[in-house]
């Protein structure tokens, strides 16, 4: 099989892995080719609108496991291919120097044995770092059941490592991944966290994970709560959510006609509220079986349920209160705080600071006045009707959204 | 009558012109700074040509950083790279505002001049950010990497300094086709030149990697999630001309 065909098969096999970040590396620079960029850089966008920043490939798609949701499972009759470490390294270097990519994202199915597979990933990364003196970004998967020593060796050469949590609950994992156990995932995850805390230059851009959304009946509350736990316990940098694309017909999987992209989008928004805006999972959800509202974003959803806290007076509210207003983000809240020292703010000022009045106007006053007189005492259903996000119902945004937000703020120096 | 100050078109030259206007107490509403190449003589104007003096430039830079900070200086520089008409006029007025308001200038969101300069700088910094990822180099027989682009703003300098760090182990040329400007890096330093006919061809081996990249690009798209509108929102069409995967 020639390199074109291998790249086609093993690129396509990796496309469902949604992680795309190339940011946050603090590895010390050695001599050699390239560098990392702290904010990350997107190099292209596929026809589905997702950004490409790394050469994302599987080392092999020959798998001894048989997970129900996975296109590469043993029982599927598909074209199989396996790279050599040399091939992956050369592709990476040649794509990199042409500025096609920011680095390598190397994942793999499990061929022969977990240790054989992990060894191949290690050899590939070793070649890149030592033979080619490659200094760009490398994200590599830790393979469940692989020896911790191999994972450790690889982690010193990588910027980021990740173990996929796969599904939001142990029950779902047992149902769909007969060959994986909760321990086989959490053990390497915990190990990576521990070594990263103790050693310098070990996965310096941190650890991430990914879970599949919509293949099982787990609720959004469960998903967000699991994420919160992962952020806290394993200090993960990111949890990625991947709307399940129906690639297999398997009775164990919930029937989906198309990937639940809008749900995925709402989960990223909720995740963001928890990580950046200090919301707790319990505030966003009333019960454990609850899902996010698809019609409005989670901040609007929360605000409508807590209308008794509004309106807040923009000229007096604390930063914590301001960022909880729909339409006011981190950046505009900071601007409000700094600017009102000079003079009291009116709605015109807010607009210039980037506040989205279309959403914020139902929740704030400026010097005691509401934006329009009729806004006082509108019932929540009325407000919701006006705030329903029609655009997003038709055309769901995708995950690069958040990375881009961080990215532009960093390059404009505005955070 | 207007007082016209001609400068050499560079940022340093512009700063020198601004320095003269400020230090000589000339009325900002009567002063016009314009690049030598763009000036069309009008006999009712008084015209002065300002020499580009690096020491004066450094003094200006120091002054701005002391009055505000290095972020504000960078903002002014980026605004200067903008292709906005009369950017010189906006930046000159911005400098006067800086004199009266100092650091506080960052919070004068409702001021039209501040707003305009912010917008120009933001537009430039966005374009630089995009090109960091969307520049495409190819291997040439001459032994260096070569990349063409046609940016809206005049950003070849910041782009070249980015690639000086990124592609430090290779010799390369970046070519702004619209402005006939090139940046050459020889593994030691970057030089900026103007150049009107530069013809460089990709090697055969390079074409293979272009094909591989196209293959990969196609393989990565998920058919069920197809969203060409989103793709174009992130990667507007004006960038496509030199993108391997889009040609």
Q: What is the pLDDT of residue A352?
A: 86
* pLDDT of A406 strictly over 70: no
Q: Which residue of A has its CA nearest to B115?
A: A352
Higher local confidence (pLDDT), A36 or A240? A240
- Give the DSSP letter of residue B235: S
Whole-structure pTM value: 0.88
* pLDDT of A399 strictly over 80: no
Percent of chain B with pLDDT over 70: 100
Q: Please return the burial class of A43, using the count of CB atoms within 10 Å of its CB with bins 0-12, 13-18 and 19+.
A: buried
**Chain A residues lying within 8 Å of B223, measured CB to CB:** 48
**B97-156 residues touching A, CB cutoff 8 A:** 104, 107, 109-110, 115, 121-122, 125-126, 128-129, 132-139, 145, 147
B2 CB within 8 Å of a chain A CB: no
Q: Please write the tens of the pLDDT for every residue from A141-160.
A: 999 999 999 999 999 999 99
A7/B215 touch (CB, cutoff 8 Å), yes or no: yes
Residue A406 and residue A415: Cα distance in Å, rounded? 8
**Chain A residues lying within 8 Å of B122, measured CB to CB:** 412
B227 CB within 8 Å of a chain A CB: yes
Residue B62 and residue B35: Cα distance in Å, rounded? 24
**B74-93 residues touching A, CB cutoff 8 A:** 74
Q: What is the pLDDT of residue B4?
A: 93
B209/A3 touch (CB, cutoff 8 Å), yes or no: no
Q: What is the pLDDT of residue A4?
A: 96
Q: Please write the tens of the pLDDT for every residue from A12-27.
A: 999 887 777 788 787 7
Between B138, B225, B228, which is nearest A259 by CB?
B225
Query: pLDDT confidence of A408, banded at 50, 70, 90?
Result: very low
In this structure, are residues A99 and B137 in contact, taking their beta carbons and an 8 Å threshold?
yes
Q: What is the pLDDT of residue A391?
A: 61
* pLDDT of A392 strictly over 80: no
Between A47, A395, A408, which is nearest B221 by CB?
A47
User: The tokens of A394 are what?
Assistant: 């038709």
Among A35-49, A91-105, A139-153, A293-307, the least confident range: A35-49
Between B109, B128, B223, which is nearest A352 by CB?
B109
Q: Please write the tens of the pLDDT for every residue from A185-208.
A: 999 999 999 999 999 889 999 999
Determine the average pLDDT of the residues in B107-127.
91
Q: Which residue of B has its CA nearest to A404?
A: B234
Among A103, A79, A107, A108, CA closest to A91? A103
Between A51, A395, A404, which is nearest B227 by CB?
A395
* pLDDT of A407 strictly over 60: no
Between B147, B220, B233, which is nearest A15 by CB?
B220
Q: Please write the tens of the pLDDT for every residue from A223-279.
A: 999 999 999 999 999 999 999 988 888 899 988 888 888 999 999 999 999 989 999
**Chain A residues lying within 8 Å of B239, measured CB to CB:** none
What are the contacts of B16-25 at 24+ separation with CB within 8 A? Answer: B16/B50, B16/B51, B16/B52, B16/B53, B16/B56, B16/B57, B16/B60, B17/B50, B18/B60, B18/B91, B18/B92, B18/B95, B19/B56, B19/B57, B19/B59, B19/B60, B20/B48, B20/B50, B21/B92, B22/B95, B22/B96, B22/B99
* pLDDT of A403 strictly over 50: no
Higher local confidence (pLDDT), B105 or A7? A7
A46/B74 touch (CB, cutoff 8 Å), yes or no: no
Q: What is the pLDDT of residue A413?
A: 30
B50 CB within 8 Å of a chain A CB: no
Q: Which residue of A has its CA nearest to B79?
A: A412
B244 CB within 8 Å of a chain A CB: yes
In this structure, are residues A49 and A396 in contact, taking their beta carbons and an 8 Å threshold?
no
Q: What is the pLDDT of residue B231?
A: 93
Q: Which residue of B has its CA nearest to A136?
A: B166
Among A195-199, A394-398, B161-165, the least confident range: A394-398
Average pLDDT, chain A: 89
Among A38-42, A100-104, A123-127, B60-64, the least confident range: A38-42
In this structure, are residues B76 and B125 in contact, taking their beta carbons and an 8 Å threshold?
no
Q: Mutating which of B76, B162, B166, B209 best tests the A interface, going by the most A Cβ atoms within 10 A?
A: B166
Measure the CA angle with vertex B196, ends B192 and B202; round to 5°: 85
* pLDDT of A319 strictly over 80: yes
A47/B231 touch (CB, cutoff 8 Å), yes or no: yes
Q: Please write the tens of the pLDDT for every residue from A329-344.
A: 999 999 999 888 888 9
User: The tokens of A89 are what?
Assistant: 């390294």
What are the contacts of B50-53 at 24+ separation with CB within 8 A? Answer: B50/B5, B50/B6, B50/B7, B50/B13, B50/B16, B50/B17, B50/B20, B51/B16, B52/B7, B52/B8, B52/B10, B52/B12, B52/B13, B52/B16, B53/B16
Q: What is the pLDDT of residue B212?
A: 97
Q: What is the pLDDT of residue A31?
A: 72
Q: What count of CB pairs under 8 Å joins A to B? A: 165
């Amino acid at each position: 099989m020639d390199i074109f065909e291998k790249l086609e098969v093993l690129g396509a096999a990796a496309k469902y892995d949604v992680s795309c970040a190339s940011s946050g590396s603090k590895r010390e620079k050695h001599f050699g080719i390239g560098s990392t960029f702290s904010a990350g850089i997107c190099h292209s966008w596929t026809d589905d609108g997702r950004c490409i920043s790394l050469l994302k490939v599987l080392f092999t798609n020959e798998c001894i496991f048989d997970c129900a949701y996975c296109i590469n499972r043993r029982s599927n009759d598909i074209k199989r291919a396996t790279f050599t470490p040399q091939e992956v390294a050369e592709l990476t270097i040649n794509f990199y120097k042409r500025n096609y990519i920011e680095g390598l994202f190397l994942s793999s199915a499990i061929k022969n044995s977990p240790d054989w597979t992990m060894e191949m990933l290690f050899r590939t990364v070793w070649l890149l770092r030592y033979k080619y003196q490659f200094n760009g970004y490398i994200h590599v998967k830790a393979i469940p059941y692989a020896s911790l020593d191999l994972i450790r060796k690889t982690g010193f050469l990588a910027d980021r490592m990740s173990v996929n949590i796969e599904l939001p609950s142990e029950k779902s994992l047992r149902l769909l991944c007969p060959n994986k156990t909760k321990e086989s995932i959490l053990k390497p995850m915990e190990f990576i966290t521990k070594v990263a805390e103790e050693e310098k230059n070990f996965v310096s851009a941190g650890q991430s994970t990914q879970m599949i959304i919509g293949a099982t009946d787990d609720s959004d509350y469960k998903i967000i709560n699991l994420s919160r736990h992962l952020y806290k316990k394993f200090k993960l940098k990111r949890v990625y959510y991947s709307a399940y694309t129906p690639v297999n017909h398997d009775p164990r999987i919930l029937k989906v006609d198309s990937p639940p992209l809008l749900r995925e989008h709402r989960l990223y928004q909720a995740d963001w509220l928890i990580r950046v805006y200090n919301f707790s999972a319990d505030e966003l959800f009333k019960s454990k079986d609850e899902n996010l509202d698809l019609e409005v974003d989670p901040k609007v959803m929360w605000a409508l349920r807590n209308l008794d806290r509004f309106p807040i007076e923009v000229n007096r509210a604390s930063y914590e209160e301001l960022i909880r207003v729909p339409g006011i983000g981190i950046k505009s809240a900071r601007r409000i705080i700094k600017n009102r020292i000079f003079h009291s703010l009116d709605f015109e000022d807010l607009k210039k600071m980037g506040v989205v009045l279309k959403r914020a106007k139902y929740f704030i006053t400026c010097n005691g006045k509401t934006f329009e007189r009729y806004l006082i005492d509108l019932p929540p259903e009325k407000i919701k009707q006006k705030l329903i996000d029609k655009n997003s119902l038709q055309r769901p945004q995708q995950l690069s959204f958040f990375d881009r937000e961080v990215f532009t703020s960093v390059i404009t120096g505005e955070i | 009558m207007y007082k016209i100050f001609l400068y050499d078109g560079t940022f340093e030259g512009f700063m020198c012109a601004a320095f003269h206007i400020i230090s000589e107490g000339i009325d900002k509403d009567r002063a016009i700074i314009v690049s030598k190449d763009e000036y069309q003589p009008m006999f009712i104007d008084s015209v002065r040509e300002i020499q580009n003096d690096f020491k004066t430039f450094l003094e200006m830079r120091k002054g701005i950083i002391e009055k505000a900070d290095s972020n504000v200086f960078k903002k002014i520089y980026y605004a200067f790279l903008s292709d906005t008409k009369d950017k010189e006029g906006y930046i000159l007025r911005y400098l006067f505002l800086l004199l009266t308001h100092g650091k506080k200038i960052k919070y004068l969101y409702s001021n039209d001049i501040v707003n305009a300069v912010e917008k120009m700088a933001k537009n430039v910094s966005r374009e630089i950010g995009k090109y960091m990822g969307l520049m495409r180099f190819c291997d040439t027989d001459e032994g260096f990497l070569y990349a063409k682009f046609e940016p809206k703003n005049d950003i070849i300098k910041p782009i070249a300094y980015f690639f000086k760090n990124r592609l430090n182990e290779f010799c390369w040329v970046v070519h702004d086709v619209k402005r006939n400007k090139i940046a050459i890096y020889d593994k030691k330093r970057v030089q900026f030149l103007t150049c009107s006919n530069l013809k460089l061809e990709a090697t055969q081996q390079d074409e293979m990697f272009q094909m591989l990249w196209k293959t990969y690009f196609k393989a990565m798209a998920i058919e069920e999630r197809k969203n060409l509108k989103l793709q174009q929102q992130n990667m507007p069409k004006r960038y496509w001309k030199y993108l391997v995967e889009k040609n």
